Amino acid sequence: MDASISDTRNMETGKNQGNAAQVESLKSRVDDIFTKVDKLEQRVNEVEQFYLTASKKQLNVSKGSSIVKDKDKDKERHVASVKKQQQDASRREAAAAKRMQELMRQFGTILRQITQHKWAWPFMQPVDVEGLGLHDYYEVIEKPMDFSTIKNKMEAKDGAGYKNVREICADVRLVFKNAMKYNDERRDVHVMAKTLLGKFEEKWLQLLPKVAEEDKRREEEEAEAQLDMHLAQEAAHAKMARDISNELFEIDMHLDDIREIIVQKCRKTSTEEKRKLGAALSRLSAEDLSKALEIVAQSNPSFQATAEEVHLDIDAQRESTLWRLKFFVKDALEIQGKSSASMGGNNTATTTNNNHPTTNNNSKRKKEICDAIAKTAKKKNKKAPS
């Protein structure tokens, strides 16, 4: 694409005044392509970031779980849209919340049985620290708790309430453990708290299997939802990648059209210019020479740019290829000249470089290619008089 833009700008100065409108049209088309490419680049970055994140992210599902195995077997199935997955997740969450409310209702029954015990009265309200003169209470007890606070939190409707039964269970235990921690084991409050804690644990064990079953179900549902969402996102990004590929193909077609229009409006490359281009190619570095051969291969798929022996027929190349080669060679030689000037003629460094195996191989390949270009030019010169 950069080559096409370069073609447009360099050819523009050589056009006649009568072609000004067409030049503006070409510039407009090029600007449109730039805009499309910028948008495509953003989408490419999005796709790249998704797959980069996906490769590092570990799903919260064990590798040997039945969910993963089932998903692998059904990998080719239709993957629902991301929006559909979000709707399904909301429905699952609502159903899970309803089941949890039922567990909380059953837990409420246990709580009423404990609070109705004759020894529960010391734990029904917050400890009256000032009234009882317990000045060190907050130094000993980090988080005070009582049954009235638990009841209010269970009935809260503003989102500040308990999310699951295990949270309530933890606070009930805290009520009794605080009393046992602050009061000596020989005191009545300590004995009352220890007794009620034992009764609570007995009743909690009866409800625990249902709680454990719900925990397992929630875990599996969340893992499945996470995997479904990942598959949906992967399908969406795969489609985006295909769309990007198609749009890039269209852009390539537009660039080819622009290039051909430019070449048709340009003068033909003369024999002398072709000769100079062949000579200039022989002065390129091995790396730049390989790049030049790649330019030839782009417009001539049968041309083997990386073959051990390369025969380059300058006269057989398309005008667009010759112009691209011309501009590339010009820029490469300018950079090469500046690099040589900055070296300051350091012969020692050059000698050391020439002893490197890679440099020797590149030089040998460069010589072979240049010899092939020179041979082809000589053949053309011999045929010219006839």
What domains can you pick out in the chain, each with its CATH number? 90-234 (1.20.920.10), 269-305+312-337 (1.20.1270.220)
Q: Indicate whether 347 pLDDT > 90.
A: no
Q: Indicate whether 90 pLDDT > 50.
A: yes
The DSSP secondary-structure symbol of 292 reads: H
**pTM of the shown model:** 0.48
Please tell me whether residue 6 adopts helix, strand or coil conformation. helix
* Residue type, position 194, single letter: K
> Positive or negative CA dihedral for 77, 83, 86, 88?
negative
Burial class (CB in 10 A: 0-12, 13-18, 19+), 278: buried
Residue 318 makes CB contacts below 8 A (sequence gap 6+) with 263, 299, 300
CA distance 50 to 240: 11
The DSSP secondary-structure symbol of 267 reads: P
Q: Which of 384, 284, 377, 286 is nearest to 325 (CA)?
A: 284
Residue 194 makes CB contacts below 8 A (sequence gap 6+) with 176, 180, 185
Give residue-wise pLDDT tens across range 170-191. Answer: 999 999 999 999 999 999 999 9
Q: Which two tokens stand for residue 203?
A: 């009743």
SS (H, E, C) 188-210: HHHHHHHHHHHHHHHHHHHHHHH
218 phi and psi angles, rounded to 5 deg = -60, -40
Give residue-wise pLDDT tens across range 116-154. Answer: 999 999 999 999 999 999 999 999 999 999 999 999 999
Give residue-wise pLDDT tens across range 263-311. Answer: 666 678 888 888 888 888 888 888 888 888 888 888 777 777 676 777 7
